[in-house]
Structure 1
Amino acid sequence: MFPDRCGFSDTTEILSSRLPDTASMARASRCIREGGLVIFPTSCLYGIGVDALNPEAIQRVFQAKGRPEIKPLLILVPDMASALNQVEDLSSEALRLMEIFWPGGLTLVLRAKGHLLPSLTAGTGKIGIRIPQHPVAAALVRAVGGPITGTSANLSGQPGAARVADVDPSVRRTADLILDAGPLQGGAGSTVLDMTLSPPRILREGAVSAEKILNALGRKRQSR
């Protein structure tokens, strides 16, 4: 816990945040900027948000989830300009998908710029990135003013949680603050598409279907 830095007690505080309000977003963003860990809603599942440029905060995420450090973390950004500051070698196809599906449930894996920490990318030189659609997540990342992690609030290898009550107690205890937006839609989370490969490869199909992605790219599904 970071009671002195985040201004919270040793007990994790829960704020009701079905819709973003200025006070809650200011409090949560301050916590993240000062190294804290916030559980917050995305469209499908609750996520863990920390400052994506803070190595100590990133380490807290791995510890909270029991996540192997060989697995990278994805990031959320407030807008296209911020996204372009985190990645390089953007293809016209990647830009087209950003324009069509962002904000939304498509995470694009792209070449990371050099300032992104190896602990975030797991040394791959790649980063998963998206602009979130949920109003609370979108307001939070705008209030932070920079990239935050967007990994699901669960123990590694376990299902994600669509309600705060379903977040594993050990994960909840690691948080300095929880933004509770009530039940979310659930599901597999965002679709993850690796744009560093040719052709692009879906690593996880979720909120955005493969068919929609192929249609956006003007491609046809390959027969097996």
Structure 2
Amino acid sequence: MNDEVLINKAIRILRSGGVIIYPTETVYGLGADATNHLAINKIFEIKRRDKFKPLLIAFSSVEMAKKYVWWNKYADILAKKYLPGPLSLVLSIKDDSIDENVYQGGIKVGIRIPKNELVLKIINSFNKPITSTSANISGEKPPIKVEDISEDVKNKVDLIIDKGECETKIPSTIVDVSSYPPRLIREGAIKFEEILKTLNSTVQ
């Protein structure tokens, strides 16, 4: 299946409330329409994930993200250096079309822009954010190739996009930049120390 066919199939599935497995530069993810309540419930069921744990969502560009979250200068500084890439930013929600189960009734959501051209094309053509959570049962090791994904997870999705082993092999770093100073949620592929240096050298 060539990339154009894959993209069109993925979009059809996402529009119908289905779930896809897709590659990023970090790990393989589970993707569903972030504005579709039933689709989001499927993600929690597949992962056997506690409902009180929020989900990251993926965008195709900063411009797209700005429609859904309150962008600020801290996000802008980090986006210019690291995105697309293995950094997730937590920002205040602007658009209430994002399903509340994504952010668990809070006022913030974690967003990322994956460094994977195929996935960016899918999200851009779909024209809405999709979930960006690892394609595994909660508590298990995040998969860096399709062979690492459990059959239980594979059997519950509508499409698997296999593009070999992920490049970074470490989940994204998650940083809350909704206010200053930033707060580390999870350290991953990018060291928090490096992020602080980037901000401190720019924010006066």
> TM-score, structure 2 length as denominator?
0.92
1:200 maps onto 2:186 in alignment: no
Q: Which residue of 2 aligns with 1:108?
A: 89
Q: What residue in structure 2 maps to residue 182 of structure 1?
A: 164
- Mapped to 1, the partners of 2:100 and 2:22 lie a distance apart of 24
TM-fit CA distance, 1:121: 0.4
Stretches of structure 1 lacking an aligned partner (at least 5 in a row):
1-14, 220-224
Paired position in structure 2 for 1:151: 133
Q: Is the counterpart of residue 124 in structure 1 residue 109 in structure 2?
A: no
One-letter code aligned to 1:180: D
Which has the higher mean CA deviation after the structures are superposed, 137-146 or 118-127?
Answer: 137-146
Contact 1:62-1:68 within 8 A present in 2 as well: yes
SS at match of 2:118: helix
Q: Partners of 2:167 and 2:176 in 1: how far apart?
A: 25
Q: 1:185 to 1:49 in 2, by over 3 A?
A: same
1:188 positional shift: 2.8
Distance 1:115 1:175 in 2: 24
Partner of 1:133: 115
Contact 2:56–2:133 (CA<8 Å) still a contact in 1? yes
Query: Which secondary structure state, in structure 1, belongs to the residue aligned with residue 67 of structure 2?
Result: helix
Match of 1:191 among 139, 160, 173: 173
The aligned runs of 1:42-53 (5 Å cut-off) are 42-53=24-35
- Indicate if the aligned counterparts of 1:187 and 1:206 stay in contact, CA closer than 8 A: no
Aligned residues: 200
Q: Rg larger in 1 or in 2?
A: 1
Q: Provide the rounded CA distance (Å) in 2 between the counterparts of 1:92 and 1:182.
A: 36
2:66 is the counterpart of 1:84: yes
Aligned to 1:36: 18
Contact 2:168 2:189 in 1 (8 A): no
The 3-state SS of whatever aligns with 2:125 is helix
Could you tell me how far apart the structure 2 residues matched to 1:95 and 1:186 are?
23
* Paired-residue identity, %: 37
The separation in 1 between residues aligned to 2:156 and 2:114, in whole angstroms, is 23
Runs of 4+ residues deviating >6 angstroms? none
Query: Normalising by the residue count of structure 1, what TM-score does the alignment of the two structures yield?
Result: 0.84
Q: Which residue of 1 aligns with 2:78?
A: 97
Contact 1:161/1:186 (<8 A) preserved: no
2:103, 2:109 within 8 Å by CA — same for their partners in 1?
A: yes
AA in 1 matched with 2:43: V
The alpha carbon displacement at 1:186 in A equals: 5.3
Partner of 1:165: 147
CA positional deviation for 1:60: 0.2
SS at the partner of 2:78? Answer: helix
